[in-house]
Structure 1
Amino acid sequence: MPQNVEFDIPLPSWTTPELAAARERHLQWARRWGLVGGVEAERRYRFAQVADVAAYSYPDAVGADLDLAFDVNGWFFLFDDQFDVPLGEDPPAVSVCEELIDLLRLPPGTAPSSSSPLGDAFADVWGRMAEGMSRRWQERTARHWMDYLSANLTEACDRRAGFVADSGEWMRLRRKVIGVSPSIDVCERVGRFEVPAPAVHSTAVESAREIVTDVIILVNEVYSLENNEARDAPNLVTCLVRERQCTRPEAIVELRRRADAQLRRLPRVREHASGLCGPLGLPEAAQEAVDRYLDAISAYMRGIYDWHRLAGRYTPHVAQHASPTTPGYLNLTNLAAPTP
């Protein structure tokens, strides 16, 4: 049912004409770093279409920059599924998380301290992300990555401890663990521009990021519902059903209502941002960067929604192979198993 749910995101759709070629280049990258090996691994990875999200979400990305966007997003989902382990087990990716947090405290390009494929692949994409960007941007983006990694540790701890979050607690965690912040930092990198301080820290720009993040979370909670239910994993829909004693469809309607409310804020936020840089004493180029950034993250939000509607990851096929006692669909240990 969730794949038939529609959200009203009044922005144009876009797909890169390089989709097929970029997908193949990304698969070569994933093989090179040992993330996808063997027939079964490639079959699942192709079916899930996780890296394809970049094809809909980064209109500024072409060539090597598009490849970077594919590789970052492919890494995200492969890494995410390493935390989907049978109940009662500790995800091996916890140690990778801690190592990568240490890595992000060092200059980009530093070799990771482990030889895990996920750690090595992350060091590669992080070095490429940082290339050509200012130290200030690198530090900001490193903080976003560390927030994301730390949130994964929180989620793993809560799951092992049997902690049941309420809807507010779950939403707060999702704002970090969904990884939107480092993903929209990629908008600046592939567009080869930066929003300068202090504009990047303004309420207008922060509010735009908040809107984009929350809308993406609400979309993802609906589209991942069946997968989460099969794994007995938390989801905002099931939180609301439990708290409000409402039906599943009623909870989904509430998530759509919340998304609509956030999207109604966006024009006002953009209006505030449109005259931001003059009073800050910043040059006209800075205002152009702010405007371009808001365009880019809005396009990213729309692209994420379009991808959710198309990706194999959110089909019943994947949910049918999920349970509380099996690894995630793209878990590296699962990918070594025979085809179901």
Structure 2
Amino acid sequence: MFTTPWPLRINPHVDQARESALAWMRRFGLLDGEQAEEDFVDWRLAEVAAFFYPHASAEECCTAAQMMGWYFLPFDDQLDGEIGRDPGRVATVCSALIGIVHGVSGPESHDTPTVRAFADLWSRMVRGMSLPLRTRVAFNWTAYFSSQVTEAIDRRTGFAHRDLADYFLLRASTTCAFGQNDLGEKWGGTEVPPELWHHPVLQRVRQLGADVVALRNDSMSLRHEDITGGHNAIHLIQRSRGGTRQEALAEASRLAQEKVDELVELEERALSRLVRAVDESQRAALRGYADIIHDWICGDYEWERITTRHDEHRVMPGWAAGLLVSAGS
């Protein structure tokens, strides 16, 4: 648990986005039956898109909700299962997705419902982006897919992090934090010029945001990850520092609050100094970027509170077995 000084905002097009995402997922075979559709609604995947991108247009909010629908059961949850313990199979899937991101191949290299759906989704995610932003979003989504291979190798070898700083660097990739933030610049935000996006202050701002979200998510997903294993900050804290589960959760909350407080101070001092040093159009982009990180933190906090996704250990439904595995794999 932690507190922030920023408001929770929600996109007014959330209901339209929910219906659009359900229809799109049905079309690509990513939902099967009433229970699957109820899970999408109860997991509040349209809401998390609306929290992250409160200023997106109706069309953009619909695309964001489709992305969230794709991100979880059709992709992320698959890698918690058997396939996620086979680095070679994960690399095959992720290579196909990276090919789509960079425009060098289509879904034919791994022709499954999840990959076909992503090819359709990606083209609309990047439509109208400037070349610098498209290059950046491709880099960060490639890092996301690459991190799935890293996690599969870690599962196979039994590797477990003992250093939180190292863990947070990987976790920013495994949640696609920076790739999601990039989309905030396109979907209702203001694009940060490339000569400023790499500034150390902005690097720290986005890393802090990613760390806070990681701590919140890891705290809420314990029911599932106590069974499936995999990397989790609460497990890491218990493993490296000893103590009880409740003590580890309390430490995670303390760390999250410490990072929120650091972010507030960073914005008040270093970011405000940077804002004063640039021209008016760049000032708007820098302030808008801070808001993207605020929406990311507050939106995730609220989503973790209202979703049913973490209520219990998730068992992969039988119908989903073929979403990411091609015939003959």
The reply to whether TM is greater than 0.5 is: yes
Pairwise CA RMSD of aligned residues? Answer: 2.4
1:58 aligns with 2:53: yes
Partner of 2:128: 132
Q: Give 1:292's match in structure 2, choosing from 272, 280, 288.
A: 288
- Does 2:72 match 1:84? no
Higher RCO, Cα 8 Å, sep 6+: 1
1:248 corresponds in structure 2 to: 245
Letter in structure 2 aligned against 1:296: I
- Please tell me whether residue 159 in structure 1 is matched to residue 155 in structure 2: yes
Q: 1:22 aligns with which of 13, 17, 30?
A: 17
Query: Which amino acid letter does the alignment assign opposite residue 129 of structure 1?
Result: M
Q: Distance in 2 between matches of 1:284 and 1:331?
A: 53
Q: 1:88 to 1:173 in 2, by over 3 A?
A: closer
Distance 1:231 1:42 in 2: 24
Further displaced range: 205-214 or 111-120: 111-120
By how many angstroms is 1:180 displaced? 0.8
Offset of residue 228 of structure 1:
0.6
Q: How does 1:153-232 map to 2 (within 5 A)?
A: 153-168=149-164, 169-191=166-188, 193-232=190-229
The answer as to whether partners of 1:59 and 1:296 remain within 8 angstroms in 2 is no
CA deviation string 1:30-60 (max 9, x = no partner) = 1112211333432333333334311222111
Q: Which runs of 5+ in 1 are unaligned?
A: 1-5, 336-340
* 1:133 Cα offset (Å): 1.2
Deviation digits for residues 86-117 of structure 1 (CA, Å, limit 9, x no counterpart): 4995375542211112232337xx63343222
Q: 2:142 aligns with which of 132, 143, 146?
A: 146
How far the C-alpha of 1:192 sits from its partner, in A, is 5.3
Name the amino acid aligned to 1:293.
Y
Kindly indicate whether the alpha-carbon contact (under 8 Å) linking 1:199 and 1:277 is maintained by their aligned counterparts in 2.
no
Bigger proportion of residues as helix: 2
One-letter amino acid of the counterpart of residue 303, structure 2? W
Q: Number of residues paired by the alignment?
A: 318
CA distance in 2, matches of 1:46, 1:29: 14
Which region of structure 1 is more displaced relative to structure 2, 128-137 or 15-24? 15-24
Q: Provide the C-alpha distance between the structure 2 equivalents of 1:74 and 1:87, rounded to a whole number of angstroms.
A: 20
Q: Is the 8 A contact 1:216 1:304 kept in 2?
A: yes
TM-score (norm 1): 0.85
The aligned residue for residue 42 of structure 1 is 37
Give the percent of matched residue pairs that are identical in Structure 1 and Structure 2.
34
| Alignment-derived partner of residue 338 in structure 1 | none
Match of 2:279 among 283, 290, 310: 283
The residue that corresponds to 2:326 in the other structure is: none
